[in-house]
Amino acid sequence: MTEFTNKEVKLDVLKERAYNMRWAEQEEGVIPLTAADPDFPAPRQIADALVEYIQGGYFSYTPKRGFPQFKESLVRALKQRKNEEIDPDLVLPIDSAARGMHAIAQAVLKPGDEALVFDPVDFLFKTSMEAAGAKVNLFPMKFREDGTIDFDDIEDYITPNTKMLGLCNPHNPLGKVYPVKDLEYLLDLSEKYGFYIMNDEIWSDIVYSDAKFNSICSLGRERNKRTLSVFGFSKSFGIAGLRVGCVYCQDKEIFEKIVDASLVETTIGGISSLSQIAGIACLDQCYGWLDSFVAHLEGNRDYAWERLNRMPGVKCGKPQATFVMFPDVSGIPMSAEELVEYLKKEEKVAIVPGGKQFFGPGSEGHVRICLATSREILKEGLDRVERGISKLMKEA
Ligand SMILES: Cc1ncc(COP(=O)(O)O)c(C=O)c1O
């Protein structure tokens, strides 16, 4: 069994290679619990598969729509792990989940269209839809007593121009999985109003033992004709820098539009051979590694949840999925952005602020903390957060 101990975290390598608010971008001594990217090296099998391919010595052009084996491996993994029925001809390997979202939006949205995006959620929904010319309407998320999303007034946010709804399942940054009845309801709405669903399942393998992931695609091919899905490898397998992801759907006509929008047929766009080799290794050989990784993350989640809820001015829900915590810090007398700046300067720990930039206005008063590290680093990071917050609350 793979171990996820401090020994595995190679700080010297991370300081050279881990960008996007992480080790390579921080001042010496700062612990980054920032971008959702693991501190552990990717599973060994990926490096082995890449080395073997590289030693073959050829790096020729690849099939424009991706290696058949990549698609077959994806179809098998989606069926086995999530009960999704996908046709390999309707899978497009692509250079990242972010690119997949962009291609989906470009394929079906045009200027004047509207799109509905939950608030909060990862910024890529809004940015990809806006890049296609759509006007994004934000649906402010509210919750029922049992913690599920309250959809009572969602139809007030849908107009005759609404052509797409963004679904982040599991949800980043809230860490929620959607119950089947909510997914059924979103499909009802998509049928009633005729909009597409941009279904992002990049987090669907990081799900804890007290929750169950349900894919909207598992609710049947017939009902999912307007569902356009994205899957990625950056979170589960730690290969964000290889830029690998894929898009899949049920409708051949829309699939062709996505292929056109991705520019793979022109050879301007496309995913590299090495990224696909890595993706195949993930799908065929790395789910055992992933299950151990999720078990480690679950320990970190429970530890961080207890600690955060003991800090003054902080309230934190327990994520069912993802490796991010999203505590409410509105009890601390400064904005989330100011708090993040303060913690970085005074305590040398970096976290991500809620607010418009990353997750939408509904995330004000929150911060996001990444758990994908060793328990030692997480403990030291949380010690620093706690020390900073305690000082602030004493001064208040
Ligand atoms: C919900 C969601 N979708 C997409 C992405 C982007 O993934 P990729 O690195 O494959 O572009 C992320 C990364 O944080 C994410 O959280």
How far does the centroid of ligand 1 lie from the alpha carbon of residue 312, in Å? 32
pLDDT at 328 over 90: yes
**pLDDT score at 272:** 98
State mean pLDDT over 322-329: 98
Which two three-digit tokens encode residue 248? 């899949």
pLDDT tens, 37-55? 999 999 999 999 999 999 9
Which atom of ligand 1 approaches the CA of 121 most closely? 1
Q: Is 124 in the pocket of ligand 1 (CB under 6 A)?
A: yes
pLDDT at 396 over 90: no
Q: Is 271 in the pocket of ligand 1 (CB under 6 A)?
A: no
pLDDT tens, 294-307? 999 999 999 999 99
**pLDDT score at 3:** 86
State mean pLDDT over 58-84: 98
**pLDDT score at 2:** 77
**pLDDT score at 187:** 98
* Percent of the chain with pLDDT strictly greater than 90: 98
pLDDT at 82 over 80: yes
Task: Give me the CATH topology for the region 6-42+287-395.
Answer: Aspartate Aminotransferase, domain 1 (3.90.1150)
Class of domain 51-285 as given by CATH:
alpha beta
What is the C-alpha to C-alpha distance for residues 60 and 141, in angstroms, rounded to an integer? 47
pLDDT tens, 118-177? 999 999 999 999 999 999 999 999 999 988 999 999 999 999 999 999 999 999 999 999
Which atom of ligand 1 approaches the CA of 37 most closely? 14
Beta bridge partners of 351: none
DSSP 346: I
What is the C-alpha to C-alpha distance for residues 74 and 105, in angstroms, rounded to an integer? 22
State mean pLDDT over 338-366: 96
Q: Is 98 in the pocket of ligand 1 (CB under 6 A)?
A: yes
Q: Is 275 left (phi over 0), alpha (psi -120 to 50) or beta?
A: alpha
Question: Cβ neighbours of residue 97 under 8 Å, at least 6 residues apart?
Answer: 124, 200, 202, 230, 231, 232, 234, 245
Q: Is 229 in the pocket of ligand 1 (CB under 6 A)?
A: no
How far does the centroid of ligand 1 lie from the alpha carbon of residue 279, in Å? 15
pLDDT tens, 14-28? 999 999 999 999 999
For the chain, the structural domain boundaries read 6-42+287-395, 51-285
Mutate to test the pocket of ligand 1, among 20, 22, 230, 235 (most ligand atoms within 8 A of CB): 235
Say yes or no: do domains 6-42+287-395 and 51-285 share a fold. Answer: no
What ranges in the chain are assigned the alpha helix state H?
A: 11-17, 44-55, 68-82, 97-108, 124-131, 180-193, 234-237, 252-262, 273-285, 287-310, 336-342, 375-395
**Do residues 287 and 77 lie in contact, with contact meaning Cβ atoms separated by under 8 Å?**
yes
pLDDT tens, 250-297? 999 999 999 999 999 999 999 999 999 999 999 999 999 999 999 999
**pLDDT score at 1:** 62
What global pTM score does this model have? 0.97
What is the C-alpha to C-alpha distance for residues 262 and 394, in angstroms, rounded to an integer? 54
**pLDDT score at 53:** 98
> Chain-centre distance of CA 354, in angstroms?
16
Compute φ and ψ for 91, nearest 5 degrees. -115, 130
